[in-house]
Homo-oligomer: A and B are copies of this chain.
Amino acid sequence: MSLKNIIVGQSGGPTAVINASLCGVIREGLSRKEDIGKIYGMIHGVEGFLEGRYMDLGEELGSRELELLRVTPAAYLGSCRFKLPEDMSSEIYPRMFAKFEEMDIGYFFYIGGNDSMDTVSKLSRYGKKAGSRIRFVGIPKTIDNDLVLTDHTPGFGSAARYVASAVREIVLDSSVYQQKSVTIIEVMGRHTGWLTASSVLARKYKGDNPALVYLPEHPFSMEGFERDVERELSRRRSVVVCVSEGIGDKEGRFICEYGQRELSSCLGREAVPGMDGGGEACLDNFGHKMLTGCGKVLERFVKERFGVKVRSVELNVGQRCCGTLASLTDVREAERAGQAAVSYALEGESGIMVAFIRKGNGDFYELEYSAVDVNQVCNQEKKVPVSWILKGGNDVGEEYAEYALPLIRGAVSLPMENGIPQYLYRKQIFPEDV
């Protein structure tokens, strides 16, 4: 009997370490020559795979390329935001499984977040019903750190390190002038504040900036914000505020959706015309609101209310694609998660996600790997514990640093060319791919 092959894909938003997990799958797959045949990669996830696009990774990538892949951000194989139909009688399922059979696939690995675990869940459930022997394993990835049943998620540590480092630099930058100023830093995070909370790691001493930190887990009020900023402006020249893009008021309205009318209402007078233009909210393929702009709304509010110098900074995609600030701990754990996925599949597991269990903390931080039921992971959301958020909702407590510090440790040594990171680029072998 010939050896079964691997197919691996990446899905959802990029991170600094999603390729480290891919590297882990490939390396582990290559080391199990007695069990595994070829290692295929789907291009643009299940969406590209359904259109017939995949590549032979074992063929394409030598050990030098793998070393570079491990530290290259974004998604080497390309990604997708493709949701498999809820309806299990959809023709997509037999079509996909026919392709699996044609390619002699025995092991399916999907690296991604919530929505990708939904894909793993559906395929494994369909496969079980259809009597397929293919094993389906999810490898977690998200900068949001919002997956349940795992201590944390690959991608988060690097993003948190980027945010903490960038915030420290912006704090320095915003402190150089003598005049009073407010700097608002907008951090990624639709529904959870794990990443925004990492801005507290930027503090060098007690009382250091960022002075105020707001997470989506706590209802945001303009009145409270006004009081907080007023108090901080009376205490220090430069006030740095960090906010999650997804903060919302107690009615559940996103602050980024506030326009001229809401600003005027909060100010108790007409906002200056033309100060409108907060974020637009549109829906992505999964029906999530795509957010941008609460930093701008707050910038305008502060400018009108306090008349001080104010700037908003959106940390933007650097949070998820900056390889130069990747956390070595994160890169290593992401790679091992990929390796563990292959091991679990070979042991017969299917319908699972690789999860992290923390053993010890601080200098005694250690990680163990486990397999959890993917059906219990997908479409769930892990939030920052309310008890970690300080009264008033404008800061987080010591528990957070204890949790996050071990995850942002260590710097990655990146090969440079002409002063900038070399990174591994995929050859574009399909016309649709260019």
Query: In the complex, are the beta carbons of B80 and A178 less than 8 A apart?
Result: yes
Query: In the complex, are the beta carbons of A164 and B420 less than 8 A apart?
Result: yes
Query: In the complex, are the beta carbons of B73 and A169 less than 8 A apart?
Result: yes
A408 at the interface (CB under 8 A from B): yes
Beta-carbon contacts of A142-169 to B below 8 Å, as 1s and 0s?
0000000000000000000100111011
Of all chain B residues, the one with the shortest Cβ separation from A311 is B317
Tell me which residues across on chain B come within 8 A of A202, comparing CB atoms. 420
Interface residues of A in 111-170 (CB under 8 A from B): 161, 164-166, 168-170
Report how far A277 CA is from B274 CA in the complex, Å. 7
Query: In the complex, are the beta carbons of B173 and A320 less than 8 A apart?
Result: yes
Which of B75, B175, B235, B314 lies in contact with A316, CB distance below 8 A?
B314
Known: A173-B320, A274-B277. 13 other contacts (CB 8 A): A73-B173, A75-B176, A80-B177, A165-B421, A166-B322, A170-B318, A172-B423, A201-B419, A204-B423, A313-B316, A314-B314, A324-B324, A411-B416
A388 at the interface (CB under 8 A from B): no
Number of interface residues of A (CB under 8 A): 66
Query: In the complex, are the beta carbons of B78 and A14 less than 8 A apart?
Result: no
Of all chain B residues, the one with the shortest Cβ separation from A169 is B321
Tell me which residues across on chain B come within 8 A of A314, comparing CB atoms. 314, 316
Query: In the complex, are the beta carbons of B47 and A178 less than 8 A apart?
Result: yes
Report how far A78 CA is from B237 CA in the complex, Å. 12
Query: In the complex, are the beta carbons of A168 and B44 less than 8 A apart?
Result: no
Query: In the complex, are the beta carbons of B321 and A172 less than 8 A apart?
Result: yes
A382 at the interface (CB under 8 A from B): no
Task: Write the nearest CB–CB distance from A261 to chain B, whole angstroms.
Answer: 12
Q: Which residues of A does B touch, CB under 8 Å? A: 10, 14, 44, 47-48, 72-75, 78-81, 161, 164-166, 168-170, 172-178, 201-202, 204-205, 235-237, 274, 276-277, 280, 311, 313-314, 316-318, 320-325, 327, 405, 408-411, 416, 418-421, 423, 425, 432-434
Report how far A362 CA is from B165 CA in the complex, Å. 32
Tell me which residues across on chain B come within 8 A of A204, comparing CB atoms. 423, 425
Tell me which residues across on chain B come within 8 A of A421, comparing CB atoms. 165, 168-169
Query: In the complex, are the beta carbons of A165 and B420 less than 8 A apart?
Result: yes
Task: Write the nearest CB–CB distance from A315 to chain B, whole angstroms.
Answer: 8
Report how far A325 CA is from B170 CA in the complex, Å. 14
Tell me which residues across on chain B come within 8 A of A277, comparing CB atoms. 274, 276-277
Tell me which residues across on chain B come within 8 A of A418, comparing CB atoms. 201, 405, 408-409
Max count, chain B CB within 10 A of own CB: residue among A79, A316, A325: A316
Tell me which residues across on chain B come within 8 A of A78, comparing CB atoms. 175-178
Tell me which residues across on chain B come within 8 A of A320, comparing CB atoms. 173
Query: In the complex, are the beta carbons of B81 and A177 less than 8 A apart?
Result: yes
Query: In the complex, are the beta carbons of A325 and B327 less than 8 A apart?
Result: no
Query: In the complex, are the beta carbons of B237 and A434 less than 8 A apart?
Result: yes
Query: In the complex, are the beta carbons of B172 and A74 less than 8 A apart?
Result: yes
Query: In the complex, are the beta carbons of A322 and B177 less than 8 A apart?
Result: no
Query: In the complex, are the beta carbons of B74 and A176 less than 8 A apart?
Result: yes
Known: A164-B419, A164-B420. A318 touches B169 (CB 8 A): yes
Query: In the complex, are the beta carbons of A321 and B74 less than 8 A apart?
Result: no
Which of B164, B236, B405 lies in contact with A434, CB distance below 8 A?
B236
Tell me which residues across on chain B come within 8 A of A318, comparing CB atoms. 166, 169-170, 318
Report how far A164 CA is from B175 CA in the complex, Å. 26
Query: In the complex, are the beta carbons of B172 and A72 less than 8 A apart?
Result: yes
Of all chain B residues, the one with the shortest Cβ separation from A329 is B419
Query: In the complex, are the beta carbons of A79 and B177 less than 8 A apart?
Result: yes
Known: A161-B420, A173-B74. A178 touches B327 (CB 8 A): no
Report how far A30 CA is from B273 CA in the complex, Å. 56
Known: A74-B173, A316-B314, A408-B418. A324 touches B165 (CB 8 A): yes
Max count, chain B CB within 10 A of own CB: residue among A78, A161, A321, A432: A321
Tell me which residues across on chain B come within 8 A of A72, comparing CB atoms. 172
Report how far A321 CA is from B172 CA in the complex, Å. 8
Report how far A174 CA is from B280 CA in the complex, Å. 20
Tell me which residues across on chain B come within 8 A of A322, comparing CB atoms. 166, 169
Task: Write the nearest CB–CB distance from A275 to chain B, whole angstroms.
Answer: 9
Query: In the complex, are the beta carbons of B81 and A168 less than 8 A apart?
Result: no
